[in-house]
Amino acid sequence: MGNFSVITVSREVESLGDEVALRLSRVLGYELINREQWMALLEGHSPALSPEPPEEEGERERWMAEVGRLLEELAEKRAFVLLGRGGQKLLARCARAFHLLVVAPVPVRLRRIMERYRQDEVTASRILAEQDRQRERFLLRFFGVDWRNPLHYHFVLNTAFYDVEESCQLVLEAMKRTRPPSSGQQESFFTREGFLEKPVVFSHPSEEEFARILDFYGIRWLYEPRTFPLEWDSEGNVVEAFAPDFYLPDFDLFIELTTQKQRLTWRKNRKVRKLKELYPEVKIKVVYARDYEHILRKFDLEDNHE
Amino acid sequence: MSDPRLGVRVFTREEIQRRVEEVAHEIDRDYRGERPVLIVILRGAVYFAVDLTRALTIPFDLDFMALSPFRLGLRRAEIEKDVDVDLKGRHVLILEDIVDTGLTLNFLVRNLERRLPQSVRVCSFLNCPVRRIAEVEVHYFCFEIPDIYVVGYGLDFRGDFRNLQEVYALYDPSGRSTQVLKRMGKGR
């Protein structure tokens, strides 16, 4: 269909996402990869891959890279509809993949559960809340994504207004009309969580760890986005400048991280003082080694640094 | 306490009790005629919350929240224990043990504000603004502390010292904490 040989379907519980995925696979003649096929696919891989992402982060990164490669190779050979499994994240960089999110309002999903399973409202609402929570946790924990964020998808479909057949028609129309992304564009659209254009190369491991702490709490940051000239020669050339490590746009705050001993920070302090004099509107905070130790101690990370 | 990991005593039991009661009076005054939801952030704030709520005279609902601790391998903070009450239209008062970087609290406030409460305020036993990274407003606090690591009255170091009834600085071999506390008039 158009430019896409793969459709990933993410769906809220009882949003008709499963039915839409099945119908799409039949209409298009694409293979449907649901939980059973997923397990067979990963277990049949050599070496076999676990169907769920591993808990340990290093292993999980390797698993994601391996599974992503496997899916991209599969997309070269076969057309398929991937139901759930974090497909929108695993295939975020794949230009052949169309990412679909199927949602429906809570009362609609609640009614569907009550009818389908013949449950009262209380039981149905508990089931819905529990399953929503499980799904949210799975994707947040293993893939680090807020999966309901519409920016992870080409198309978001609310099935409160359409039945399965109408939903499929809308998805097919959307797929037909979606322009192929230019080189690198798709990656940028679906993988950028923060403001960063490209992967950051940190100049110190402490900066990388600090960035992870910020990510953990959902605080957006930029790495060394601005260099402040501090001194000029007689011809107007900049002879001294300062680029604070982080900028936190939500707080309009620059952060300079230093792990040097306090007595060695005089040069940095001088630069910060100068910056404050020349750019009084700029908010900057220096996180000294002892502040950083406090942060690490608070987050029980100091053993990794001693 | 004779644990070698402990340094100077920062706040005595009496000082803590007096300040907790004063803060409770402030809350009583500000929430008169209301029934706020007090959300205790597990686990450190439990000790403070028990004493504070005993000193309150206004009616309130009490609930608890726990956030997943930062650990390698977990990409995003998660609410591990959520409140049971509906916060829509309610006055929410978060009870914390300490606000320092503000990272945890900023996350919690953003999360709670999405539930459309009438207001969200923060009450912390300790406030350490010099360590602040994320902006958060602390509406009530018992003590402001300088850049030192403290334990006791719910605050722990690797799980220890929570149950101390007084607040101590963690032993700092550089002597810096002691000097800072001396300037505050604290010390042995």
Among B78, B104, B149, whose Cβ lies nearest the Cβ of A297?
B149
Q: How far is A105 from chain B (nearest CA, A)?
A: 17
DSSP 3-state of B133: coil
pLDDT of residue B45: 95
Among B73, B103, B147, whose Cβ lies nearest the Cβ of A291?
B147
The answer to whether the Cβ–Cβ distance between A60 and B176 falls below 8 Å is: no
Nearest CA in chain A to B134: A251
Q: How far apart are CA A20 and CA A81, in angstroms?
A: 10
Tokens 């300040």, located at residue: B19
Nearest CA in chain A to B80: A137
Confidence of residue B20 (pLDDT cuts 50, 70, 90): very high
Q: How far is B168 from chain A (nearest CA, A)?
A: 15
The answer to whether the Cβ–Cβ distance between A291 and B71 falls below 8 Å is: no
Q: Could you tell me if A296 lies within 8 Å of chain B, comparing CB atoms?
A: no
Residues of B in contact with A89 (CB under 8 A): none
Q: Mark out the alpha helices in B46-148 (DSSP H runs).
A: 46-55, 103-113
The answer to whether the Cβ–Cβ distance between A291 and B74 falls below 8 Å is: no
What's the CA angle centered on A252, arms A250 and A258, to 5 degrees?
105
Domain ranges of chain A: 6-191, 205-304
Quickly name the fold that domain A6-191 has: Rossmann fold (3.40.50)
Give percent above pLDDT 90 in chain B.
65
Q: How far apart are CA A144 and CA A197, in angstroms?
A: 18
The answer to whether the Cβ–Cβ distance between B100 and A218 falls below 8 Å is: no
Q: Report the top-level CATH class of A205-304.
A: alpha beta
Mean pLDDT by 10 residues, chain A (306 residues): 86 93 94 90 84 81 86 89 90 88 93 89 84 80 78 92 95 88 61 58 87 86 88 89 89 87 78 92 88 74 41
Q: Could you tell me if A55 lies within 8 Å of chain B, comparing CB atoms?
A: yes
Annotated active-site residue B86? The verdict is no
pLDDT of residue A306: 28
pTM value? Answer: 0.68
Q: How far apart are CA A281 and CA A253, in angstroms?
A: 10
The answer to whether the Cβ–Cβ distance between B75 and A144 falls below 8 Å is: yes
What are the tokens at A111? Answer: 């009614």
DSSP 3-state of B64: strand
Model pLDDT for residues B100-111, shown as the tens digit of each residue: 999 999 999 989
With a CB cutoff of 8 Å and minimum separation 6, the contacts of A54 are A60, A63
**Could you give the C-alpha distances from A294 to B50, B130, B132, B150, in angstroms and in order?**
27, 12, 12, 10
Tell me the CB-side half-sphere exposure of residue A25, using CA atoms within 13 A.
17
Residues of B in contact with A56 (CB under 8 A): 73
Chain B residues with CB within 8 Å of chain A CB? 69-78, 100-101, 103-104, 106-107, 110, 131-135, 147, 149, 157-158, 176
Residues of B in contact with A217 (CB under 8 A): 77, 103-104, 106-107, 134
Q: ipTM score here?
A: 0.85
Nearest CA in chain B to A249: B134
Among B70, B131, B149, whose Cβ lies nearest the Cβ of A213?
B70
| CATH of the domain spanning B13-146, picked from 3.40.50.2020, 3.40.50.300, 3.40.50.2300, 3.50.50.60 | 3.40.50.2020
